[in-house]
């Protein structure tokens, strides 16, 4: 981390977390943030995620750039791919503030946002006006007051599809009431059927991903795996934030909402490994949750992920973490005698069960 980045992070940490988040987006738009210059590219880092070719497996997780404001700068930060959103059909203010909390002692974050965004029409205008040299996807959400949440996902997909490379059905945020109910077997089967129907009507259908919660039973994991395979999903994102507070020490542990960051690492990786077994490796998996180093990312890959995503760790380590992780994965692959990332996928799956 450069001295300039350290100073910038220290300044941001002087502000309320949500204000700091907004300021970081503005810094990116103004060219004030340190950027790698493009996707980190190494021959053995090349991978495929849901049929999409990636220069490296490190992606930006949904939630940071909710409104697709920083697509240009973030495509130069070293990432192999980006995911923006979540987007809902209509603009939504989200839950009351304060709704973002740092847990410094735990190297974690709790958010209660509730799908705050400017709405899909405005987001699509930004997507259409900002081509990127790396693949990008959109996290699909539903309005809190929607009479038909399942219909919202198809609506957002239809609007955005011409401008994105993949779409992620988000039924796992803990901050929208009853949203996680859509992970239930019957509800999820209906939802995926309707999303697939909307996708099939597009001039060019795109890969559909599903983002799941870490707070699932083994039976629920198997049900989701079976439904995902039957629906022909391109990938499953493991996982969203957790409601678990075990082992936390920060005073902010009492806050409601989804916990992300280091404490989520083991729980999310275990769900990832279980999903690898449950799907028999027939669907690509994206590992998310608690990644703060190349070793963490490599562990997700060995547990069964073909790609990974970051967000919370950047709050504490800055954007320089992105190329550091990508280059570190390359070094770990070389150390283990691999010349392709695919050779490492799933090597330690069984050890997480």
- Which of 24, 149, 172, 173 is the catalytic position? 173
132 touches 77 (CB < 8 A): no
Quickly tell me which residue has 């019957």 as its tokens. Answer: 186
Q: How far is the C-alpha of 286 from the C-alpha of 309, rounded, in Å?
A: 7
Running DSSP on this structure, what letter comes out for residue 61? P
200 is catalytic: no
Q: How far is the C-alpha of 339 from the C-alpha of 105, rounded, in Å?
A: 38
111 touches 151 (CB < 8 A): no
Sign of the C-alpha dihedral computed for residues 313, 171, 59 and 130 taken in this order: negative
CB atoms under 10 Å from CB of 82, counted, come to 26
Give the CA distances from residue 172 to residues 25, 86, 118, 163, in Å, rounded to whole numbers and listed in that order.
Answer: 25, 12, 20, 24
Task: Give the end-to-end CA distance of the chain in Å, rounded to a whole number.
Answer: 36
In sequence order, the 6+-apart residues with CB closer than 8 A to the CB of 296 are 265, 290
Quickly tell me which residue has 């999820």 as its tokens. Answer: 188
**Sheet with 108-111: strands ordered across:** 100-103, 108-111, 258-261
Q: Tokens for 264, please give them.
A: 């989520």
Residues designated as active site: 173
């Amino acid at each position: 981390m450069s001295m300039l980045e350290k100073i910038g992070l220290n300044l941001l940490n002087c502000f309320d977390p949500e204000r700091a988040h907004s300021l970081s987006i503005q810094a990116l738009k103004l060219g004030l943030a340190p950027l790698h210059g493009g996707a980190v590219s190494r021959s053995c880092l090349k991978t495929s995620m849901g049929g999409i070719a990636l220069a490296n497996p490190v992606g930006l997780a949904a939630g940071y750039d909710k409104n697709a404001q920083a697509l240009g700068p973030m495509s130069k930060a070293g990432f192999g791919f980006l995911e923006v959103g979540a987007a809902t059909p209509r603009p939504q203010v989200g839950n009351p503030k304060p709704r973002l909390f740092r847990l410094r002692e735990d190297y974690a974050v709790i958010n209660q946002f509730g799908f705050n965004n400017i709405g899909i029409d405005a987001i699509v205008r930004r997507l259409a006006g900002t081509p990127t040299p790396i693949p990008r996807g959109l996290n699909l959400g539903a309005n809190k007051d929607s009479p038909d949440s399942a219909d919202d996902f198809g609506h957002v997909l239809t609007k955005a599809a011409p401008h994105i490379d993949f779409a992620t059905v988000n039924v796992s945020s803990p901050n929208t009431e009853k949203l996680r109910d859509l992970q239930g077997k019957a509800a999820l089967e209906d939802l995926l059927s309707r999303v697939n129907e909307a996708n099939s009507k597009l001039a060019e259908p795109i890969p559909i991903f599903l983002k799941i919660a870490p707070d699932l039973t083994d039976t629920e994991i198997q049900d989701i795996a079976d439904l995902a395979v039957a629906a022909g999903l391109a990938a499953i994102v493991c996982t969203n934030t957790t409601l678990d507070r075990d082992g936390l020490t920060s005073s902010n542990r009492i806050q409601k909402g989804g916990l992300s960051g280091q404490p989520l690492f083991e729980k999310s990786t275990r769900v990832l490994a279980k999903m690898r077994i449950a799907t028999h490796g027939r669907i690509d998996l994206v590992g998310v949750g608690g990644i703060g180093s190349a070793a963490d990312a490599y562990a997700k890959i060995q547990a069964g992920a073909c790609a990974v995503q970051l967000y919370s760790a950047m709050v504490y380590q800055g954007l320089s973490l992105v190329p550091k992780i990508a280059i570190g994965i390359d070094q770990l692959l070389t150390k283990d005698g691999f010349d392709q990332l695919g050779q490492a996928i799933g090597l330690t799956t069984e050890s997480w069960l």
